[in-house]
Amino acid sequence: MQGRDLIDLDGQVALVTGAGQNAGRATALELARHNAGGIAVNDFVPERAEAVAAEVRAMGVPALAVPFDVTDLEAAKAANAAITAELGAATVLVNNAGMAGPGASIRPSQHFWEEDPAHWQRYLGTNLYGVYNCCFAFIPNMVEAKRGRIVTIVSDSGRVGEAKLAVYASSKAGAQGFMRSIAKELGRYNVTANCVSLSALLPDMDEDQRQQIMQGDHMRNLMTRYSIRRCGKSTDVAALVTFLCSNAAEWITGQTYPLNGGYAPSA
């Protein structure tokens, strides 16, 4: 005899930013599996957003592609209006878009005092202001409905620090502090706000590619800092985020959950 799904979104509509690939895509699909009333798929690349929305619709769950840049507040507001018209008001927000902005990647390179200050904004824009913008646009839905979930993907660099990634780390630390603060503002409306903090996460790839990367000298050395000696997978992120968005997590707020295989930073 099957019981009820403990991880139940109770028909709420969810927006997942940066959901056109990897962990964002996996999260959108996992939310759809657990009684979401609809999934809004954001990505900076319209074709990626629509491809994932089509996957969600194939599961029998309404979905809408909403391509926009999270650093643009007016675009976030417009997306909220479009989602409300098509799916209903979104009361679940997953701030997954991050890194160094669309099409960019991050690698430790220069000391902070050697950097070009013109590069700071690409980290602050997506990782901090992008979270501000989406929360500003979508929180009113939650306050009105008197229920909601916000989960922001952050980084262990923001929890423990990371050499030569100071601005990126500070943008992620800022997002954590922001989430703790709005958790205090939103509790009376039955809205929770939490973070999931990641360490090394590989993009989606087949197992042969994954094993090839894991066997390299750099990766083997890196894995000595992890109790579970593998990199994170998109499905790891999706599982924890979906739990935090569900009814099962209704008394959890203002927290940051490390999802990192027991990572211990070097000195």
Q: 125-165 pLDDT, tens per residue?
A: 999 999 999 999 999 999 999 999 999 999 998 888 888 89
- Of the given ranges (114-118, 214-218, 244-248), which has the lowest mean pLDDT? 214-218
- The one-character DSSP state at 232 is B
Superfamily of domain 13-202+233-258: NAD(P)-binding Rossmann-like Domain (3.40.50.720)
Averaged pLDDT, 183-201:
95
DSSP string, 116-147: -GGGHHHHHIIIIIHHHHHHHHHHHHHHHHT-
What's residue 106's pLDDT?
63
- Of the given ranges (19-28, 32-41, 99-108), which has the lowest mean pLDDT? 99-108
Whether 55 contacts 27, CB under 8 Å? no
Averaged pLDDT, 199-207:
79
Locate the domains of the chain by residue range: 13-202+233-258
Query: Is the pLDDT at 202 greater than 90, yes or no?
Result: no
Query: Is the pLDDT at 217 greater than 80, yes or no?
Result: no
- Residue 230 — very low, low, confident or very high, per pLDDT cuts 50/70/90? confident
Amino acid at site 96: N
Model confidence, pTM: 0.93
What's residue 102's pLDDT?
56
- Residue 266 — very low, low, confident or very high, per pLDDT cuts 50/70/90? low
Query: Is the pLDDT at 119 greater than 90, yes or no?
Result: no
The proportion of the chain whose per-residue pLDDT surpasses 70, expressed as a percent, equals 95
What's residue 1's pLDDT?
39
Q: Which residues pair with 152 in a beta bridge?
A: 95, 195
Averaged pLDDT, 57-77:
98
Measure Cα distances from 83 to 117, 138, 168, 204 in Å. 36, 10, 30, 27
Residue 226 falls in the annotated catalytic set: no
Averaged pLDDT of the chain: 92
What's residue 218's pLDDT?
75
Catalytic residue among 168, 189, 257, 263: 168
Query: Is the pLDDT at 101 greater than 60, yes or no?
Result: no
